[in-house]
């Protein structure tokens, strides 16, 4: 079976299993979401949902991907985030007077399948200044205490707090997961000559351990009994790496001057060698496949950049193995990644983006992101079919509904970009304009329409940084920054011309100033099941966004974001049935995108 077909099959099976498992009787101990009221540089009370058994965390370096994995590591019983995050003079952990660093996570309990929230907070404890302690639910964070008739098996203390989730955690950071040889040879303090001498000497001991399958003790140094990979594990590794492995063994030891680490010995047909002569990607795959293959059922697997040192084909095969093990063992897997090949074909519910908010400078999150737009935040794009990027959720709903109405929903992915139109102009368009095979289109709100500039009308005399900067600002309403590899003025001019060309050919506009104007209708409001007094109050509001909020409040009893979207959909379904001028204009733009 082709790698792509195998992935589709696994994803279909996982999607069906997870959707049916509402009470988490299959995916037991599953963490439904995590909230971070105060944690590092994350936005206060940021919430990350886990809506699929495998979750991908995408973002630039320093965006908080590893920190989120560290927070998740500290959720289950007997685990602590302090393994990774602790106070030092160089990196002091700041505590607010009435608000300590903490995390909150939700899961369904073992016996009654009640979804509950658990709070863990950092406190100073004698002998341990970085202790994370479970505590009673806090009203400050809108948490609910266990009811009086709670099943006593699901609570601890005086019955005033929920038990922590109990599950085995497997954490692997492939950026720093070096073998004992690599640690000692590349980072040891001795001279090169001395390091080679010690490696040769210790290699004799390691060979004896590998050959005898027994552990070894020499004064304070120790080598554990070798772990022999199973036939099934060897088959998986051979498939991923394209080699025929006959045997592989792993030893945990500290024989290289007490440098704790692991060594691997490989056997292929006619060749024996250790991790010292293997590629780093080869060693990483062996460790990951073994760890995941041996993982307990319902385990929490946290992987930090597992694509490191692997070529794209190997990454795709590795990801299929992870999906297969997730299905088999009902694992929950969270992966921090920069790899488009790992997330290829994944459902949007599986992909989250972490990014720095331009205003607060805090880490924010975007959920339900298509693979085709996930990597804009790291300065690259990847996709299989054409993508339309819009400014917000209502514009997304309008475009998707139009496509569905005309049977063209499979031609495009439609996503809105967290951060709005300013970030689309600076981040998305700068990346998209460099593509040779352009399949990305921008559909701005009408209030962003400042006309078009045909690049063929720009004279050679105007093709300089200063003039093009002014022309682009006139088109976009803001300055756009272009990064170049050198001080070459020609390189920046070329990027500017590509940007203008992209704007001319691939940027479109909705027919009204804002999408709310497109679907709003007094006629629909008049026919709604509301009192005349409420209808009057709604009509008096001049701000259309607030008008939809009022409609949601009086029609559905709540004006939260969730019910505002319900209000949008109420009007959208009425609008799509009419042959309006706005609908025809949107269809015309879509037609141009299809033919591009």
CB atoms within 10 A of CB 127: 5
- Average predicted confidence (pLDDT) for the chain: 90
pLDDT at 547: 94
pLDDT at 96: 63
Who has greater pLDDT, 32 or 178?
32
| Token code pair at residue 486 | 């050198």
- Answer yes or no: is pLDDT of 596 > 80: no
Whether the predicted model's global pTM rises above the 0.75 cut = no
- Answer yes or no: is pLDDT of 468 > 90: yes
Contacts of 563 (CB under 8 A, 6+ apart): 552, 553, 556, 557
pLDDT at 229: 95
Q: How many CA atoms lie within 13 A of 405 on its CB side?
A: 19
Q: Which of 369-378, 498-507, 510-519 has the lowest mean pLDDT?
A: 369-378
Task: Kindly report each contact of residues 224-231 with a partner whose C-beta sits within 8 Å and lies 24 or more positions away, as own/partner.
Answer: 224/251, 224/252, 224/253, 225/251, 226/250, 226/251, 227/251, 227/290, 229/286, 229/289, 229/290, 230/293
Contacts of 143 (CB under 8 A, 6+ apart): 104, 117, 119, 137
Looking only at Cα atoms, what is the longest distance across the chain?
Answer: 91
The separation between CA 377 and the C-alpha centre of its own chain, rounded to angstroms, equals 11
What average pLDDT does this structure show over 236-244? Answer: 92
pLDDT at 486: 59
pLDDT at 372: 67
Q: H or E segment at 568? A: helix 561-575
Contacts of 407 (CB under 8 A, 6+ apart): none
Rounded to 5 degrees, what are φ and ψ at 72? -65, -35
- Answer yes or no: is pLDDT of 506 > 60: yes
Confidence of residue 377 (pLDDT cuts 50, 70, 90): low
DSSP-derived secondary structure for 282-336: HHHHHHHHHHHHTPPTT-EEEEE-TTTT--HHHHHHHHHHHHHHHHHHT-EEEEE
| Assigned CATH for 3-168+295-343 | 3.40.50
For residue 215, the 8-state DSSP code is -
- Answer yes or no: is pLDDT of 97 > 70: no
| Token code pair at residue 260 | 């704790």
pLDDT at 391: 92
pLDDT at 176: 66
What average pLDDT does this structure show over 30-37? Answer: 96
* pLDDT tens track for 322-347: 999 999 999 999 999 988 889 988 99
d(CA 495, CA 493): 5
**Domain extent listing, the chain:** 3-168+295-343, 180-292, 378-509, 515-595
pLDDT at 378: 58
* pLDDT tens track for 102-125: 999 999 999 999 999 999 998 877
Q: What is the 3-state secondary structure (H, E, C) of 224-282?
A: CCCEECCHHHHHHHHHHHCCCEEEEEEEEEEEECCEEEEEEEEEECCEEEECCCCCHHH
* pLDDT tens track for 53-62: 999 999 888 8
Rounded to 5 degrees, what are φ and ψ at 333? -120, 130
d(CA 234, CA 494): 50
pLDDT at 286: 92
* pLDDT tens track for 469-487: 999 999 999 999 988 765 6
- Answer yes or no: is pLDDT of 221 > 80: yes
| Token code pair at residue 360 | 């607060």
What average pLDDT does this structure show over 403-416? Answer: 82
Q: Which of 164-168, 285-289, 408-412 has the lowest mean pLDDT?
A: 408-412
pLDDT at 367: 86
Confidence of residue 461 (pLDDT cuts 50, 70, 90): very high
Strands (E), 425-547: 440-444, 507-509
Tell me whether residue 188 is exposed, middle or buried, using C-beta atoms within 10 angstroms of its C-beta: 0 to 12, 13 to 18, 19 or more: middle
pLDDT at 376: 63
Who has greater pLDDT, 297 or 439?
297
| Token code pair at residue 474 | 């006139």
Token pair 């959208």 in the structure block, residue: 572
The separation between CA 440 and the C-alpha centre of its own chain, rounded to angstroms, equals 21
* pLDDT tens track for 508-549: 999 999 999 999 999 999 999 999 999 999 999 999 999 999
- Answer yes or no: is pLDDT of 316 > 80: yes
pLDDT at 371: 80
3-state secondary structure of 49: strand
Q: Which of 302, 260, 308, 300 is nearest to 283 (CA)?
A: 308
pLDDT at 435: 80
């Amino acid at each position: 079976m082709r790698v792509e077909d195998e992935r589709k099959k696994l994803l279909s099976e996982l999607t069906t299993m997870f959707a049916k498992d509402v009470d988490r009787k299959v995916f037991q101990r599953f963490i439904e979401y995590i909230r971070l009221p105060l944690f590092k540089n994350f936005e206060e009370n940021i919430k990350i949902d886990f809506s699929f058994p495998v979750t991908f965390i995408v973002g630039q370096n320093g965006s908080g991907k590893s920190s989120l994995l560290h927070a998740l590591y500290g959720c289950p019983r007997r685990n602590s985030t302090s393994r990774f995050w602790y106070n030092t003079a160089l990196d002091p952990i700041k505590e607010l007077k009435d608000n300590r660093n903490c995390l909150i996570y939700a899961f369904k309990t073992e016996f009654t399948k009640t979804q509950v929230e658990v709070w863990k907070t950092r406190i100073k404890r004698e002998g341990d200044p970085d202790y994370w302690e479970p505590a009673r639910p806090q009203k400050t964070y809108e948490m609910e205490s266990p009811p009086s008739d709670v099943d006593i098996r699901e609570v601890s203390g005086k019955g005033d707090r929920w038990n922590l989730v109990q599950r085995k955690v497997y954490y692997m950071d492939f950026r720093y997961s070096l073998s004992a040889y690599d640690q000692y040879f590349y980072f040891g303090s001795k001279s090169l000559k001395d390091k080679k001498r010690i490696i040769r000497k210790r290699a004799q001991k390691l060979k004896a351990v590998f050959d005898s399958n027994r552990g070894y003790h020499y004064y304070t140094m120790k080598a554990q009994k070798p772990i022999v990979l199973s036939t099934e594990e060897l088959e998986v590794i051979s498939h991923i790496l394209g080699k025929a492995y006959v045997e592989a063994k792993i030893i945990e030891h500290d024989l290289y001057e007490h440098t704790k680490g692991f060594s691997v010995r490989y056997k292929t047909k006619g060749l024996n060698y250790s991790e010292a002569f293997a590629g780093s990607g080869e060693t990483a795959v062996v460790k990951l496949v073994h760890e995941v293959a041996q993982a307990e059922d319902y385990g929490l697997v946290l992987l930090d950049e597992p694509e490191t040192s692997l070529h794209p084909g190997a990454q795709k095969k590795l990801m299929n193995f992870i999906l297969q093990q997730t299905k088999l063992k009902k694992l929950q897997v969270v992966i921090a990644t920069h790899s488009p090949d790992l997330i290829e074909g994944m459902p949007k519910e599986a992909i989250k983006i972490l990014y720095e908010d331009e205003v607060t400078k805090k880490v924010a999150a975007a959920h339900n992101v298509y693979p085709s737009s996930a990597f804009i935040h790291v300065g690259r794009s990847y996709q299989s079919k054409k993508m339309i990027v819009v400014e917000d959720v209502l514009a997304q709903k309008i475009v998707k509904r139009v496509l569905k109405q005309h049977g063209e929903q499979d031609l495009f992915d439609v996503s809105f970009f967290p951060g709005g139109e300013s970030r689309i102009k600076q981040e998305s368009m700068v990346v998209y304009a460099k593509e040779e095979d352009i399949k990305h289109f921008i559909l701005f709100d009408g209030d962003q329409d400042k006309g078009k500039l045909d690049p063929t009308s720009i004279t050679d005399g105007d093709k300089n940084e200063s003039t093009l900067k002014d022309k682009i600002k006139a088109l976009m309403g803001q300055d756009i920054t272009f990064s170049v590899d050198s001080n070459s003025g020609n390189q920046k001019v070329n990027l500017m011309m590509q940007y203008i060309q992209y704007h001319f050919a691939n940027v479109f506009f909705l027919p009204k100033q804002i999408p709310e104007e497109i679907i709003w209708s007094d006629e629909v409001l008049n026919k709604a099941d509301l009192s005349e007094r409420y209808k009057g109050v709604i009509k008096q509001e001049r701000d259309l966004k607030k008008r939809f909020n009022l409609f949601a409040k009086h029609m559905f009893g709540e004006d939260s974001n969730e019910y505002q979207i319900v209000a949008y959909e109420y009007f959208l379904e009425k609008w799509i049935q009419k042959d309006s001028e706005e609908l025809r204009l949107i269809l015309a733009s879509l037609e141009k995108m299809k033919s591009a």
